[in-house]
Amino acid sequence: MKLKNTLILLALAGALVAFIMFYEQKQLSTQEEEERAGQVVQLDRDKVDTITIKNTETKIELRKDAKGGWRLEEPVKDRADTTAVAQLLTAAESLRYDAMIGEGSKGAEKDQLKEFGLTNSEIKVRFAGTEKPVELLFGKDAAVEGKVYVKRADSNSAYVIKKELKDQISKKTDEFRDRKLSDLSTTQVKRVIIKAAAGEMEFEKKDQHWLITKPLKARGDDAKIGDLISQATTARIESFVADSSQLAAYGLQDPRGSVSMFVEGSEQPTVLQIGGKPTDEKDKEKTYAKLSTRDAVVLVPKSVETLLETKPNDVRDKNLLRLEKDIVDRITIEGAGKEKIVLARSGESWVRKVGDKDEPINTSAATRLLDEMSNQQVTAFVADVGTDLATYGLDQPSVKVTFSSYASENTAETKAGEKPIAALHFGKTENGTTYAKLEEEPFIVSVPESAVALAMSDPLQWQALDIYKHKPEEITALEIIREGAPAVALERAPDQTWKLAKGDGAVNQINVQSLVNTLSTLHAVRWFGAAVPDHGFEKPAVVVSFKTGASGGGKLTIGGTSPEELAFALAEGRNGTFGISRPDVTAFQLPIIDKPAVTTPAAAPGTPAGSVPPASTDPVPVPAPAVPSPSAQ
């Protein structure tokens, strides 16, 4: 019995707690009571799905659709202006009164309600939804400026409020219509057809990129086609003119052109028809149009007409090729009559594949080739059909560049080997531009001549830029020959200073060390290729021979100056000519022997007064070429 009584008491306590919690939930907090004080209505906008407005001109009904948007149902069926509806709901939610006439169930006197214009109100708004509808009746303006009388339909109390809500529901129907022409977004559209007097164009989106499919098949410019679609969908309606029963009067029975927009999964397009031009002077910068999803002829900005003037070349992709750089790990360069060059990615660097060996190369040049080709713009679309390749030198390209992805192992998805992504052919060069063609496309285009220069077809031009890699202290002997001057031979003394190998003289230790530092880690700015007479090596400006250890060493020859003012140079044991920068050339031409202090001896008979004999036999430095210091490729 004790256990039974305990259980009954526990059950009663639980019920009491539940009742208290339920009761407290139903009570308004002090803050909520303060917020509701002075409110005319309590309204939850999320539960409102229908708004009915009756004003002196018409009846307007707004209804929420399944997606949470708003539509006009009366007096026309159309998409509603979401902002206008939101403003209306905000004004109703926050509606507060300045004064209340008549409290309790009796409310105001009938004569008072009649005096306030609330007996036969012509302006009403009703908010309906899942809860009890809220209807407000508006009367005359109050004596205080900017105030108006209002009452709820379920009460006889009258309120004095601001005119804001009355002004909003007194708007004309068109002020509740959405002035954005279409509710389509650019990303929703997957296919577009433009019909105009000049012909028909069609675009289709595949793998996040736009393609032109008519009147020719070509890559489209994603940004420009996106802008074109945006221009059609986001155009602002200047005014609503008529319903669709009067199309002929506005040149829309047989429109000048149209833009059809398809969304994924729908065979029925949204069609924008562009009609005639207004005759009124005030509307000369507008044009008539109609969207298939809206039952209205509208005036839109004249700029919408430019959609019909679009030509295929206006929206073609001007990138020479589409390339995902991250998946490219092979670049093959084939110059006419030259050895094939295969460049391969190796971690963060690039190497040249020579048989089974990987030779280090100028990685920055490979990276630059990939970057520049990925961003290269065509200067002109020359021909849409590649039937006359010989005219453009593309029947036998001067250079072919293939970008590939390489799979090193067989997998379920792919086999080992190169998978070409894109192959570029370069032809003749005329007037600073070179003709080019993608192997997988029929079109012939032109590109700047400089683009072809990046695809170096001489293997020598791809060599690594480091010429020597020594520690300065490893160089033990030097011989420096400058044009028009005798050779100077130096050797390192036991104390690591430098001395003349023959003869006497004060060696400029700082200048020699500068030369040694430059020589030991010499880098090329770029490689030119095989040595030719124009490089000036028959009469070199400077020749530096050096020894390292017992049998090592090398020889550097500096010749003339390149058109871009780099100094031509040769390194013994390395094939080809490379360019070195002005600071490096200067280091090889600094004075080696310090000049002794000058004393003025007695002038010999017949010697002109003021003449001074030579102070040093050190070779006169050859002026360094005016060479900028470009960054290494």
Query: How do residues 534-575 score in pLDDT, each as one tens digit?
Result: 999 999 999 999 999 877 999 999 999 999 999 999 999 999
What span, in angstroms and rounded, lies between the C-alpha atoms of 90 and 95? 8
Q: Do 179 and 237 form a contact (C-beta atoms < 8 A)?
A: yes
What span, in angstroms and rounded, lies between the C-alpha atoms of 431 and 449? 9
Which tens digit of pLDDT belongs to each residue from 590-616? 999 987 644 445 444 444 433 333 434
Does the pLDDT of residue 465 top 60, yes or no?
Answer: yes
Q: What is the CATH number of domain 472-594?
A: 2.60.40
Which tens digit of pLDDT belongs to each residue from 387-396? 889 999 999 9
Report pLDDT for 74.
93
Q: Compute the average pLDDT of residues 349-363.
A: 95
Q: Alpha-carbon torsion 358, 359, 365, 369, what sign?
A: negative
Report pLDDT for 112.
87
Task: Report domain extents, the chain.
Answer: 35-176, 186-315, 325-462, 472-594
Residue 526 — φ and ψ, nearest 5°? Answer: -165, 165
Residues 6+ apart with CB under 8 A from 317: 218, 219, 220, 221, 222
Residues 6+ apart with CB under 8 A from 132: none
CA-wise closest residue to 498 among 470, 472, 468: 472
Residue 38: pLDDT band by 50, 70, 90 thresholds?
confident
The residue type at 150: V
Per-residue CA distances from 148 to 103, 173, 262, 466 (Å): 18, 22, 50, 88
What does DSSP assign to residue 236? B
Q: Do 151 and 159 form a contact (C-beta atoms < 8 A)?
A: yes
- In 283-348, DSSP assigns E strands to 286-291, 297-301, 330-335, 341-346
CA-wise closest residue to 426 among 347, 320, 518: 320
Report pLDDT for 267.
86
Model pTM? 0.72
The strand pair at 542-548 and 475-482 is best described as: antiparallel
What does DSSP assign to residue 461? G
CA-wise closest residue to 189 among 214, 235, 222: 222
User: CA-based Rg of the chain, rounded to a whole angstrom?
Assistant: 44
What span, in angstroms and rounded, lies between the C-alpha atoms of 436 and 552? 48
What span, in angstroms and rounded, lies between the C-alpha atoms of 615 and 478? 24
Does the pLDDT of residue 91 top 70, yes or no?
Answer: yes
Residues 6+ apart with CB under 8 A from 478: 488, 489, 490, 491, 498, 512, 515, 516, 544, 545, 546
The two tokens of residue 616 are 């040093």
